[in-house]
A and B are shown apart, each in its own frame.
Chain A
Amino acid sequence: MDMQTKPPRTAAEQAIQDSFAEMIGQLPGDAAVMVARDKLLSAIDDAGLPTRRIESWHYTDLRSLLRGVPSKPSGRAGRVDPLVWGSVVLPVVQGRSTDLTAPEGMRLTPFSKVLQSGEAARLLTERGSDDLIGQLNGAFVGDGYSFTVAADASMDKIIEIQSVQSGGQVHSRFQAAFEAGAKATVIERYLGDAAETGLSTSISTLELADGAEVTWIILQGRGGNDQHLAQLSARLGENSTLKVYVINAGGKLTRQELHVDVAGEGSHFDLRCVNLLAGDSHTDVTLTLGHSVPNTTSREIVRNVVLGRARGVFQGQIKVAQLAQKTDAQMSCNTLLLSDDGEFSAKPELEIFADDVICGHGATVIDIDHSHLFYLMARGITEKSARGLLVNGFVDELIDEIDNEVLVEALETLVEQWLADHG
């Protein structure tokens, strides 16, 4: 007999259960999907929201951090111009996708249709008992997109998934398959409404077949009261390349998980993550990266700018399997701490079971370099602008690596604007 008593539900935990009761009638899916949703919801109820006692959530105690769980989308939201003119936009407005005609080289279905098709139940699973994002998203997911880029297709236009939310709850899923030799650049862009309080979860699943080359950019610009819990899972086939850029520049509470399996020989994974943190926000980027076969490489660079009372977290775990000889993996996390009240926690973790590998990690916390500041000021640049240039430079160094000048410019403008607004 189990004598343990569960702590009482927090307001947020109660609201999750209430929301489900309220929304269940409108959530798409067949009976199998409903069963899967129920199962995931009870998993949340049994374990409660994760606290600092759960290792993977140690720095983001969701039980105390998750405040409002609003019911339905409340405010008004509409599509905006894409970040780069001419992009193919896949809109998700207040959680609803549009049934669009796919551009050439691509097959595209709204995820609500996938849920109704009876194939989706197998997708609504958890990665483990601590996978709150998988549980919450699986229980509530309403829409999103499923798309496939055909073999050897080279998408010359950027694909922009544009999630616009104004308050309420939105749970989306993006299933992306890149067939052998496919090339594409995808932006996953989140916009919010500063006047509203929203909750969103999002799961993106990327499958890269042999030789695929994908640049995937996550641009999180939710409103200052929003809570955003997101997860990207990716599996890399032979000789494929995945470059993921994450830019966090918004939200009150953000958790971005990245689970990457470098599973094909000769494949390469890159992560460049920029966290722009201000106010009293809490932002967590958690990476688990597995090198499971020989001859693979990865580079992870995280750069953080911390202002105000913001708190940031980076957990980076690299696992190199015994089989994965000749792995070359390097991870670094650099923080520009510009406020005495700001905070950043970095937790690198290497688990290496192979003996012939190059693996390294480093974490630094720095202030503005005074010799750099003096040099710029000696040219007549005021201290304020000089600092701005240096902070921009710290971040732009990562963005400059993107192989698309128009996109680089758009992202740098975004960073500049953020710093002008918050600096």
Chain B
Amino acid sequence: MLEIKNLHARIAEDGTEIIRGLNLTVKAGEVAAIMGPNGSGKSTLSYILAGRKDYEVTEGDILYNGESILELDPSERAAKGIFLAFQYPVEIPGVATMQFLKVAMNEQRKARGEEELKTPDFIKRVKEAAASLQINPDMLKRPLNVGFSGGEKKRAEILQMKLLAPKLCVLDETDSGLDIDALKIVSDGVNALRAPDRAIIVITHYQRLLEHIVPDSVHVLYQGQVIKSGGKDLALDLEANGYAQIIEAAA
């Protein structure tokens, strides 16, 4: 489903290279964990997948279902089924959450040539999805993410993911800022989305999240490259022994 080939990317503003020859393949139905120390390029990778303009790809390619997505803007990528759950969802005052959800769902449908959702159908979907994530309906009456706690923001991200039903989900440190109960709710939400035609990339610092969302593969990112890949045991190994050993071995 996703093939990243020898990807090099830098910060557009100052030219600092962050991703330095990254290779990664994720198949449909797979849950891939990307781990790595601070500054290894994890969040940058998630932004590049979503199409953020602040980064420039200088070499290599990203193929999604065999097609390069480098020329697509973020909304086109999203319409094709790529979803990024943000580490820090932004607060947008003045934009009502429900209005945002409706516009997002309908624009994606429109881009795919599907009919727009009727209001009652839309409201029903949102209510059901919100209930499954234990989201208070009052939260949805507020402007987008405004005044949400850290945990509420993360839950709202998963709510969006559920409603938009993407094919490639990228979760950027979704566990940060979550207490154990919220972590459980969010993980259950993600696990419910596991499907043979859907791939999920879980970016995280800690093994903790991977106890709830058990990955099929684990990849260690360091200085903008995948330096080691393995099965779910690799995460346990990292938890016990830290990154130093693997980094040394790769050097």
Contacts and interface: CB of A to CB of B under 8 A. Distances in A.
A394 interface: yes
Interface stretch (A44-52, A79-87, A378-386): A378-386
Contacts of A353: none
B78 A379 contact: yes
Interface in A332-385: 370-372, 374-383, 385
A103 interface: no
A393 B95 contact: yes
A389 B75 contact: no
B94 A379 contact: no
Interface in B125-168: 143, 160, 164
Given A381-B104, A393-B95, A372 B160 contact: no
Contacts of B204: none
A370 B55 CA distance: 13
Contacts of A380: 75, 78-79, 104, 107-108, 111, 164
Contact of A385 (B53, B77, B103): B103
B94 A395 contact: yes
Contacts of A374: 50, 52-53, 74
Interface in B82-98: 83-84, 86, 89-90, 92-96
A396 interface: yes
A393 B93 contact: yes
A240 to B, nearest CB: 29
Contacts of B143: 393, 397
A385 B51 contact: no
A116 interface: no
B94 A375 contact: no
A375 B92 contact: yes
Interface string A230-254: 0000000000000000000000000
Contacts of B99: 389
Interface residues of B, number: 31
Given A371-B90, A392-B94, A393-B143, A378 B78 contact: yes
A400 interface: yes
A378 B92 contact: no
Given A380-B111, A385-B107, A375 B75 contact: no
B84 to A, nearest CB: 5
Contact of A377 (B74, B83, B86, B95): B74
A153 interface: no
A395 B95 CA distance: 10
B95 A390 contact: yes
Contacts of A396: 94-96
Interface in A298-314: none
B251 to A, nearest CB: 35
Contacts, number: 84
Interface in A78-96: none
A389 B90 contact: no
A378 B95 contact: no
A408 to B, nearest CB: 11
B107 A382 contact: yes
B148 to A, nearest CB: 14
Contacts of A379: 75, 78, 83, 100, 104, 108, 160, 164
Contacts of A378: 50-52, 74-75, 77-78, 83-84, 86
Given A374-B53, A379-B164, A393-B92, A386 B86 contact: no
A2 to B, nearest CB: 56
Interface in A194-252: none
B5 to A, nearest CB: 23
B100 A376 contact: yes
B94 A393 contact: yes
B239 interface: no
Contacts of A390: 92, 94-95
Interface in B37-70: 50-54
Nearest to A303: B94
B116 interface: no
B164 to A, nearest CB: 7
Given A380-B107, A381-B107, A372 B50 contact: no
A374 B51 CA distance: 8
A381 to B, nearest CB: 5
A386 B108 CA distance: 13
B197 interface: no
B164 A389 contact: no
B86 to A, nearest CB: 7
Contacts of A375: 86, 89-90, 92
Contacts of A400: 94
Nearest to A393: B94
B73 interface: yes
A23 B54 CA distance: 64
Interface of B: 50-54, 73-75, 77-79, 83-84, 86, 89-90, 92-96, 99-100, 103-104, 107-108, 111, 143, 160, 164
Which 7 pairs from chain A and chain B are nearest by CB?
A393-B94, A380-B78, A397-B94, A377-B74, A380-B108, A379-B104, A393-B95
30 contacts: A370-B53, A370-B54, A371-B90, A372-B90, A374-B50, A375-B89, A375-B90, A377-B75, A378-B50, A378-B51, A378-B52, A378-B74, A378-B78, A379-B75, A379-B78, A379-B83, A379-B100, A380-B78, A380-B79, A380-B107, A380-B111, A381-B75, A381-B107, A382-B75, A383-B73, A385-B107, A389-B100, A392-B95, A393-B92, A393-B93
Given A377-B73, A380-B107, 11 more contacts: A371-B90, A376-B92, A379-B75, A379-B108, A383-B75, A385-B107, A389-B100, A390-B95, A393-B92, A395-B94, A397-B94
